[in-house]
């Protein structure tokens, strides 16, 4: 698996979980990495150190992806210090405490969509401005992080999160077709229950393992297993793949 042209990938939400695993795996395959984080700079610095130990350049860059000004500043900083990116992994996302719809505040729902949908779209927009041949770029790849919750709906847990990920699926297909003639491929990965820290944010830190009986493969996935799918979609081995949503869910 070899990177194309500029060898620079921006991974949002890369200080932990799937983002961290993706940053490390892409570095193993020769990519320089921009490690985006929202709050935990110390964790992001550890990922940067891992990438550098693998012989690649790395940069930690703070930005709340729901903040347009922060996104613009992030892309400018990455371009100035590493160079123009040709791969974007839209991994940053949030979940909230388990709840029914009637228990959810407008503020919770708004924040869910601001981070998970608006954030993904803003980062993709800035990547397109730099990658698309229509804008003088040399092409590139965007991988969005969806969730099997988009197809299952997450009833009684977080239908707001599921709805936000359904939006990611639609956005992925539409943007892929919009950019197909401009050298930019756009795909999504739809993880199932993965053993990451995100479950603690929903109030059930052990959910990944407690839910094993719901998964045909009878176990949660690992961040690395999702990262491997992302890395393949970014690689030239997936050169004829665009507008795809790839389930990494253990059959769920």
| CATH code (residue 61) | 3.40.50.720
Structural domain contains residue 225: yes
Q: What is the mean pLDDT of residues 169-197?
A: 96
Distance between terminal CA atoms of the chain?
28
Query: Average model confidence (pLDDT) for the chain?
Result: 94
pLDDT recorded at residue 201:
55
Q: Examine the pLDDT at 140 and tell me if it is beyond 50.
A: yes
* Domains contained in the chain, number: 1
pTM above 0.95, yes or no: no
Q: How many residues does the structure list for the chain? A: 252
Q: What is the mean pLDDT of residues 220-238?
A: 97
Structural domain contains residue 2: no
Q: What is the mean pLDDT of residues 109-129?
A: 98
* Residues acting as catalytic residues: 161
Structural domain contains residue 203: yes
Q: Kindly give, in sequence order, each residue whose CB lies less than 8 Å from that of residue 85, ignoring residues fewer than 6 positions away.
A: 6, 8, 9, 10, 34, 75, 78, 79, 127, 130, 131, 140
Sheet with 58-62: strands ordered across:
58-62, 32-37, 8-11, 87-90, 140-145, 184-191, 245-248
Domain that holds residue 125: 8-248
Interatomic CA distance for residues 70 and 51, integer angstroms? 24
Between 219 and 31, residue with greater pLDDT: 31
Chain segment 186-214, per-residue pLDDT in tens: 999 999 999 977 645 555 556 666 778 88
Structural domain contains residue 3: no
Structural domain contains residue 72: yes
């Amino acid at each position: 698996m070899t990177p194309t042209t500029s060898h620079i990938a921006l991974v949002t939400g890369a200080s932990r979980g799937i983002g961290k695993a993706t940053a490390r795996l892409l570095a193993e395959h020769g990519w320089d990495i921009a490690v985006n984080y929202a709050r935990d700079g110390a964790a992001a610095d550890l990922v940067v150190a891992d990438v550098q130990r693998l012989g690649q350049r790395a940069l930690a860059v703070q930005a709340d992806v729901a903040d347009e000004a922060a996104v613009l500043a992030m892309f400018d900083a990455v371009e100035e210090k590493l160079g123009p990116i040709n791969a974007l992994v839209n991994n940053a996302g949030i979940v909230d405490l388990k709840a029914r719809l009637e228990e959810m505040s407008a503020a919770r729902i708004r924040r869910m969509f601001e981070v998970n949908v608006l954030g993904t779209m803003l980062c993709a927009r800035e990547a397109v401005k730099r990658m698309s041949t229509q804008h003088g770029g040399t092409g590139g790849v965007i991988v969005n992080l969806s969730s099997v919750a988009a197809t299952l709906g997450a009833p009684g847990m977080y239908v707001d999160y599921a709805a936000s990920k359904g939006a990611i699926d639609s956005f992925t297909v539409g943007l892929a077709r919009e950019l197909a003639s401009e050298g930019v491929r756009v795909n999504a990965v739809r993880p199932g229950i993965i053993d990451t820290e995100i479950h603690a944010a929903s109030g059930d830190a052990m959910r990944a393992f407690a839910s094993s009986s719901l998964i045909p493969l009878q176990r949660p996935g690992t961040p690395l297993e999702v990262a491997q799918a992302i890395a393949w979609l970014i690689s030239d081995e997936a050169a004829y793949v665009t507008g795809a949503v790839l389930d990494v869910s253990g059959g769920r």
